[in-house]
Structure 1
Amino acid sequence: MANKPCMYFFTFYAAGHLMSMIEFAKRLSSFGNSFSINFVVLMEPDERNQLGSPLCSSYLQSLQAQNTPFQFHRLPSVEPPTSYDGIPELVGFYVRSYLPHIKAQLLASPSPISALVLDVCASDVIDVANELNIPSYLYHTSTATYLALVCHLSCQEDENNLKDFSEAENINVPGLIPIPSTCLPNDLLNRNSGSYKWIMHVGRRSNEAKAVVVNSNIYLEKTSMKALAEGTPLAPDMTIPNIYPIGPVISLGKNKSKEQECLKWLDRQPMKSVVFLCFGSMGAFNVSQSRQIAIALEQSRHRFLWVIRKPSNELVGYPSDGNLDELLPGGFIERTKERGLVWPSLVQQTDILSHEAIGGFVTHCGWNSCLESLWFGVPMVAWPIYSEQHLNAFQLVNEMHVAIAMEIDRKEGFVSAKELERAIKCLMDEGSEEGRSVRKKTEEIKLACRKAVEVGGVSYVHLENLAIELGWKEVHSQST
């Protein structure tokens, strides 16, 4: 149709954002073809910006091979910021620089634009949406608890009285279980930082959207979902918009070409016998920590598949393939070859987690990885590294009861070999009471999450209601 209305989705060239947003758009499009879907990917790598995620690149290639009918638009390059104190502030500077180009892109659309769907981190695009009289929706790729925390803190902010959160044992958010200050996201620890202030700005802007879509559900986060729905006690100075919890939204596409040998090795292992260690697209450890991991794996006597990468020297950079001679103790590969595999490059994580040989997952607790692990019923050992992962780990252990906690040096992010060995044994040993409890709860949540996204499930109903609100004709006709 020549004048078929369209929707624009704004996301970032980062695996935890781009993949989740596109999978969300796929789910919406399953209700029919009332709209054409357009994507604008911010912070794409170019000659000025080298923040290229290898996972994003491979995912977009697979999307192209599937002939997904989404249109992707590139904005002109912008000058990268020269000074910032963390990734959130860096993103904020980029978004503001893109605003004139975003406005021009939307004005040039040959079709009427029905709505904008914005990654929460791109919430300043609301200014352009308001100017052009286009409804805006926010898509939150992390937990409902993190959203509730930010909404609450942004209402309590007093610029003249910024105290360090370390002075308090717990952060008390109405409706949520008390959050230890040691479990706060990295970027919320320093209340005088530019990144903290930018996150508070994003929190205050969330009440300007027509609705917020959250990649979670009530089975995962009952308390925070209720707190967000009630609104006022959580954020008395804000009007929290409608919340659509539609999760888990994950990419389940298969891409086995590079991991074939890895998967063949898993095929030879007993069911649920292997602990999988993988730390996301940006997670990697130095030589000292890598050797502690090796010692723990050797001492645990459990089968393992370990994805090992070499950290980047840049503040915002992606790890490279691991140099095993440099990162591992001498003789480790030979001593463990009968029960372990060290994999020095990226893997398609869902291919691994879905394999019947996997019995546990040592994870950095990125939310997408957590959702993937729960979808396949794999219990976890929580090893948070950056961003909001410490908060995610707290929830996995204390609210969802699907992970084993570890003692982590928060300042250095260091975990001893003895502590990792204890956690792996606790998770994997048949005689571990805590391990049995975590495995049982993980299986319960797996079944609940799968039921939630089926037709008639709670997440499906929220998605359908959102589609009706957006004006998807096929849904509207089915529901009337």
Structure 2
Amino acid sequence: MLMANKPCIYFFTFYAAGHLMSMVEFAKRLSSFGNSFSINFFVLMEPDEHNQLGSPLCSSYLRSLQAQNTPFQFHRLPSVEPPTSFDGIPELVNFYVRSYLPHIKAQLLASPSPISALVLDIFCSDVIDVANELNIPSYIYYTSTATSLTLMSYLSCQEENNMKDFSEVENINVPGLIPIPSTCCLNDFINRNSSFYKGLMHNGRRSNEAKAVIVNSSIYLEKTTMKALAEGTLQLAPDTKISNVYPIGPVISLGKNSSKEQECLKWLDRQPMKSVVFLCFGSMGAFDVSQSRQIASALDQSGLRFLWAILTPSNELVGYPIDGNLDELLPEGFIERTKERGLVWPSLVPQTDILSHEAIGGFVTHCGWNSCLESLWFGVPMVAWPLYFSDQHLNAFQLVNEMHVAIALEIDRKKGFVSAKELERAIKCLMDEGSEEGRIVRKKAGEIKLACREAVEVGGVSYVHLQNLAIELGWKEVHNQST
């Protein structure tokens, strides 16, 4: 009888590691409230005969869920024909989401239990139309920072009101936030003619139609933004405020990896404590020969111990990198010269296992928000090297200027290029006990580690937000029935 009365929630994400994994881990947190929810997932853009795009991290993660007997139901949607052409990833994702809408409506109507809510990834925001049609409350789950959410929502309202072009200003000034230099955002984020910008603005506007936005962050990470959200002072436009926000982070996947990739952990076991700098750029981060050899030169000249996860770029327009071709990417003799203090790993690595290892002293990261949260969870300071998506550049700005947990890199933003000399400077600064800047970021990373863990413990600020959300979704009613 209790099972029949469980609030039924459908989650919508898409087949990308930084989105799918974060949303499933959030669902795990939510289901920890007395196992009070019936959790269902739709994963859009799963690989099939039409769509061959597929993150290898997603595949391994979903297999691990099966092995854990996670009590979530995953529903498959019918295949849809891919677009004949598209201009950028946001347009591709939006095309698929719109194509799925009739199938989503049909499956929701066939649900054997009344549906309490839909929880949508920001890129699935058009599913709000189905939610409204079926009179189901909708929530957005946002996998990046509250600051980038607010910036996106704010810019979408300014565009709507035909205000000034933000691509030509030094700082983007959002009332209630710290000034955001336009240089920390990619051109696509503030250039109104780009498809990327149009996609972000569309999702920014739609997020304010949801009942609330759930954000993977906390007050300890974004004090200025969170204070403005809590006080209700964030004005997006006259008479327009941002949707109610639940900051419930950090939410990360901490499952242990048991594959052959553990060999790199065995190498770490032989290294001194906090002596190794870890370089990894996410499941889509790969460099050409020129940049890879600059990285190799920096590591060679630095004299530091290192673990470098290196991949080869895909030849596809939208595709995931493949295992690193070391003969092509590395200078002759590099591995031999550095074999006593370094390991080059030419494939994906068990990142959380590495970041939690006592030998790791620093992390050179692409600034994907999930990677940032993992690093902070384990108290590892960073060198911020944002790559391909706009939020990574904003994340880097916050890590350096607001959280003070990362060393900045001088980057040629048009090419995304970093010289060997500059990278060497940054990693030495990060790892050198005598560096004052390094000392500050190492100390701050340790403080935020403790704050993040405190936030999600019972009674912590993020836990309380999650509990309030669970009550809104129906947990209190079911809990009372069970007692």
Return the TM-score normalized by structure 1.
0.97
Q: CA deviation at 1:222?
A: 1.0
Aligned to 2:448: 445
- Report the CA distance shift for 1:137/1:297 in structure 2 as closer, same or farther (over 3 A): same
1:87 partner letter: I
- Report the CA distance shift for 1:81/1:268 in structure 2 as closer, same or farther (over 3 A): same
Deviations 1:171-225 (A, max 9, x none): 1111111111111145313211222122112111112111110000000001111
Aligned to 2:474: 471
- Report the CA distance shift for 1:93/1:142 in structure 2 as closer, same or farther (over 3 A): same
Q: CA deviation at 1:406?
A: 0.5
Which of 329, 341, 344 matches 2:343?
Answer: 341
Q: CA deviation at 1:380?
A: 0.1
Please tell me whether the aligned partners of residues 190 and 196 of structure 1 are also in contact (alpha carbons under 8 angstroms). yes
Aligned to 2:275: 273
Identity %: 86
Please tell me whether the aligned partners of residues 173 and 180 of structure 2 are also in contact (alpha carbons under 8 angstroms). yes
Aligned to 1:203: 204
2:422 partner letter: E
Q: Within the alignment, does 1:393 sit opposite 2:396 as a pair?
A: yes
Aligned to 2:219: 218
Aligned to 2:370: 368
Deviations 1:299-349 (A, max 9, x none): 010000000000112221100000111110000000000000000011110
Q: For residues 143-154 of structure 1, what are the structure 2 equivalents within 5 Å?
A: 143-154=145-156
Segments of structure 2 that go 5 or more residues without pairing to the other structure are none
Aligned to 1:403: 406
CA distance in 1, matches of 2:306, 2:234: 46
Which of 75, 88, 98 matches 2:90?
Answer: 88
1:444 partner letter: E
Aligned to 1:329: 331
Please tell me whether the aligned partners of residues 177 and 225 of structure 2 are also in contact (alpha carbons under 8 angstroms). yes
CA distance in 1, matches of 2:473, 2:41: 17
Please tell me whether the aligned partners of residues 278 and 307 of structure 2 are also in contact (alpha carbons under 8 angstroms). yes
Return the TM-score normalized by structure 2.
0.96
Aligned to 2:174: 173
Q: Secondary structure at the match of 1:235?
A: strand
Q: Secondary structure at the match of 1:157?
A: helix
Q: Secondary structure at the match of 1:212?
A: strand
1:462 partner letter: H
Work out the number of aligned pairs and report it.
479
Please tell me whether the aligned partners of residues 275 and 360 of structure 1 are also in contact (alpha carbons under 8 angstroms). yes
Please tell me whether the aligned partners of residues 176 and 233 of structure 2 are also in contact (alpha carbons under 8 angstroms). no
Deviations 1:269-299 (A, max 9, x none): 0000000000001000001100000000010
Q: Secondary structure at the match of 1:72?
A: strand
Q: Within the alignment, does 1:191 sit opposite 2:192 as a pair?
A: yes
- Report the CA distance shift for 1:35/1:161 in structure 2 as closer, same or farther (over 3 A): closer
Please tell me whether the aligned partners of residues 362 and 383 of structure 1 are also in contact (alpha carbons under 8 angstroms). yes
Q: Secondary structure at the match of 1:208?
A: coil
Aligned to 1:425: 428
Which of 105, 123, 139 matches 1:121?
Answer: 123
Q: CA deviation at 1:88?
A: 1.3
Which of 242, 250, 264 matches 2:244?
Answer: 242
Please tell me whether the aligned partners of residues 148 and 228 of structure 1 are also in contact (alpha carbons under 8 angstroms). no
CA distance in 1, matches of 2:322, 2:245: 38
Please tell me whether the aligned partners of residues 258 and 347 of structure 1 are also in contact (alpha carbons under 8 angstroms). no
CA distance in 2, matches of 1:54, 1:39: 19
Please tell me whether the aligned partners of residues 247 and 459 of structure 1 are also in contact (alpha carbons under 8 angstroms). yes
Please tell me whether the aligned partners of residues 7 and 473 of structure 2 are also in contact (alpha carbons under 8 angstroms). no
Moved more, 369-378 or 252-261: 252-261
Q: CA deviation at 1:476?
A: 4.8
Q: CA deviation at 1:150?
A: 0.7
Q: Secondary structure at the match of 2:240?
A: coil
Which of 14, 19, 22 matches 1:20?
Answer: 22
Q: CA deviation at 1:450?
A: 0.3
Deviations 1:229-256 (A, max 9, x none): 3445431343422211000000000013
Please tell me whether the aligned partners of residues 154 and 200 of structure 1 are also in contact (alpha carbons under 8 angstroms). yes
Q: CA deviation at 1:79?
A: 1.8
2:96 partner letter: Y
2:339 partner letter: K
User: What is the alpha-carbon root mean square deviation over aligned residues?
Assistant: 1.7
Q: Secondary structure at the match of 1:404?
A: strand
Aligned to 2:132: 130
2:240 partner letter: M
- Report the CA distance shift for 1:258/1:474 in structure 2 as closer, same or farther (over 3 A): farther
CA distance in 1, matches of 2:260, 2:161: 51
1:200 partner letter: M
Q: For residues 99-110 of structure 1, what are the structure 2 equivalents within 5 Å?
A: 99-110=101-112
Moved more, 68-77 or 219-228: 219-228
